[in-house]
Amino acid sequence: MNKEALIKAANFCAYQERTQKEVRNRLAELDVLGDEAEQIIVWLIENNYLNEERFAKIFAGSKFRQKQWGRLKIRQELKMRGVSDYCLRAGMNEIDDDDYMNTLQEIIEKKSREIKDSDKLVRKQKLVRFALSRGFEQDLAFDTVNSFLK
């Protein structure tokens, strides 16, 4: 096993949580491919440098709390990063349902103050579109906007 690549991969993982896909890409940049790359990844997992479940939980929780992303956007991003379904579910479990609904209400209220249009239908359309762009589910966005604009 290439010691230099192992040290670089361990440092890469120690800096922040990573996915196996990110580590494979990094190893490919270092011209470490195939079985050798897989051995390094196994070593990183065994020594707890690389843990996709931990990554998914931290990623989902932080994107929700800090950037106020909805579940759909978080799920899509985790899938793009090659996270397994099991880890994806574990990450999504980090989002509390009550916090989720409160966040959706807060972002709709805040966005509503920014919209200058007085036409109720246009306001509704803009608020729903905004919630959808943040990755919230369509039915939740409609219900929340409808209850807010009553």
CA angle, 12 then 17 then 22, to 5°: 60
Confidence bin at 118 (pLDDT 50/70/90): confident
CA dist., res. 26 & res. 24, Å (int): 5
Nearest CA to 9 among 35, 38, 34, 120? 38
Instruction: Determine the residue type at 85.
Output: D
What 3-state DSSP class applies to 18? Answer: coil
* pLDDT tens-digit readout, 1-26: 789 999 999 999 999 999 999 999 99
Pair of tokens at residue 56: 């998914």
Residue 128: the pLDDT is 96
